[in-house]
A and B are shown apart, each in its own frame.
Chain A
Amino acid sequence: MVGLSIGETNFIRGGIAQDLRCDGRKRLSYRPINVETGVIPQAELGRPSSSRPDHGKVSIHVDCSATAAPMYQGKGGEELSSELALALQRGLLGSKSGAGAGIDLSSLCIVEGKTCWDLYIDCLVLSSDGNLLDALGAGIKAALSDTGVPRVQVMAADASSSSDQPEIDVSDEEFLQFDTSAVPVIITLTKVGRHYIVDATAEEESQMSSAISISVNRQGHICGLTKRGGAGLDPSIIHDMISVAKHVSEQFLNKLDSEIAAAQARQEES
């Protein structure tokens, strides 16, 4: 990955201890965010699972393109992609039964128990310089805000019809915008030495002892948590990291929402 000399590692660690990182940022500030809307997640008609008949289904898939790093070519990126996809699912979708999901699945339901929308979210990593989870989470939120679910009309089911699937008329014209105000965002706190930083670059990530990725929504509720890295963490430190993440998430959410709104305005203009 990144080969760093001892001098460089000392520089990174020392800098973080003094609240000054390699690119001049403070420990808790993010790199500039650029949002461009245009990629549409695909939605297909499908059957809801039996345990949650009034909810739709969402499936998240991540692919690490070889353009991000040569080692991702062929099967190389699969481990990282599955790890990222699972972390995203944990953060955004809640448990297997669908309870407590960050994304509102009931808006995807068409006919209870029979038909629902199957939303596929496909993420593609083109260029990677650390902090992939946060970027993917922000990207998913932006993409969902751009998603339109076609308006669907259900024809009255014929009493004599033996088919299990009711007749559905999918409109090509009208779209319902997906409501993303409740979608959580993922904040990753990387612990280097005795301090934690937010939005680590690839070099800083190579120095980390452990990292916690917390999915927080607008109300400040935690929707999911993933701890990565081998080093053990004292529970009080985890508690502290969670409160720091909640504090950072407010600023991040505001910035992200304004970027998404600006991107949509740009799209409407063109």
Chain B
Amino acid sequence: MEFVSPEGLRLDGRRPLEMRQLRAEIGSISKADGSAVFEMGNTKVIAAVYGPREVENKSQQISDKALVRCEYTMANFSTGDRVRKPKGDRRSTEISMVIRQTMESCILLEKFPGSQIDIFVQVLQADGGTRSACINAATLALADAGIPMRDLVTSCSAGYLNSTPLLDLNYVEDSAGGPDVTVGLLSKMDKVTLLQMDSKLPIDIFENVMQLAIEGCKAVANYIREILLENTKQLEYRRGK
């Protein structure tokens, strides 16, 4: 099947190095300490952060830093075929763990010893790249909650189909069977905190694809920074400055 036409256009009309349209909104869930909706093309996820607060399960309490818990769930209606079991299946458990480890590396956990930070991510619409969208939404939600972080963690995926590196795969391109590289990056510090790949790639092409994903992460980070700046201006405006 042809994923890149001879003119260089992908199935949804993008160029190979073009990301999908990004949209973000902060503060949708008033009850949560921090929340954000993040959209990458048709993939839409919502993240809510509760914390830092008292640890529910005293046996899991860590004395010198905060405990981070994360849950990733997909809504029944998020994919084309109705998902029967939204929580608890193996893929959700794995992605929950991946998001937790990524966010743990960037939150300043030592500031809140003996407490707990909960990150809940809900996929509303899935069209490829849900992992990346969730990490981006979680970063925004943590910033909205005012939890101190080392850096903004952003994530983006890239693949290699029809001998072309492609940025930000959607569901059709992802299920094509080609390689899918997901990268999570600490944007200012330029350090990779998450790296996952499936299928196979020769090493030199892998470096190209990973570099492409890193560029994608930096673009997302710029967008997130703009959104946060805009949000802060709004808050200041409402305070009556």
A residues contacting B by CB (< 8 A) are 39-42, 44, 61, 63, 65-70, 73-75, 120, 122, 124, 126-129
Contacts and interface: CB of A to CB of B under 8 A. Distances in A.
B167 interface: no
A66 B30 CA distance: 14
13 contacts: A39-B124, A61-B76, A65-B73, A65-B120, A65-B122, A69-B31, A73-B118, A74-B87, A74-B88, A75-B87, A122-B75, A124-B77, A126-B122
B120 A70 contact: yes
B30 A127 contact: yes
B32 interface: yes
A41 B76 CA distance: 10
A73 B75 contact: no
Contact of B71 (A42, A68, A73, A127): A73
B29 A67 contact: yes
Contacts of A73: 69, 71, 118, 120
Interface string B118-132: 101010100000000
B48 interface: yes
A128 B71 contact: no
Given A122-B75, A124-B122, A127-B32, 19 more contacts: A40-B77, A44-B82, A61-B76, A63-B76, A65-B122, A66-B71, A66-B120, A67-B32, A67-B46, A68-B29, A70-B50, A120-B76, A120-B82, A122-B82, A124-B76, A124-B77, A126-B46, A127-B28, A127-B29
A104 to B, nearest CB: 22
Contacts of B31: 68-69, 127-129
A120 B88 CA distance: 21
A120 B46 CA distance: 22
Secondary structure class of chain A's binding surface, majority of residues: loop
A41 B30 CA distance: 26
B35 interface: yes
Interface string B31-52: 1100100000000001110100
A63 B46 CA distance: 15
B86 interface: yes
| Contact-residue size bin, chain B (C-beta under 8 Å from the other chain) | 20 to 34
A75 to B, nearest CB: 8
Contacts of A39: 77, 124
Nearest to A71: B56
Given A122-B82, A128-B31, A66 B48 contact: yes
A63 B75 contact: yes
B97 to A, nearest CB: 14
A39 B75 CA distance: 11
Contacts of A67: 29, 32, 35, 46-48, 120, 122
Contacts of A44: 82
A68 B73 CA distance: 13
Given A73-B71, A73-B120, A63 B48 contact: no
Contacts of B30: 127, 129
Contact of A42 (B35, B82, B86): B82
Nearest to A44: B82
Contacts of B69: 73
A211 to B, nearest CB: 21
Interface in B50-90: 50, 56, 69, 71, 73, 75-77, 82, 86-88
Contacts of A63: 75-76, 86
Contact of A66 (B56, B122, B124): B122
B29 A74 contact: no
B145 to A, nearest CB: 13
A73 B32 CA distance: 14
A126 B29 contact: yes
Contacts of A75: 87-88
Nearest to B30: A127
Interface in B1-47: 28-32, 35, 46-47
B30 to A, nearest CB: 7
Contacts of A41: 77
Contacts of A124: 75-77, 122, 124
A31 to B, nearest CB: 12
Output the residue of A63, A67, A73, A120 with the most chain B CB within 10 A.
A67
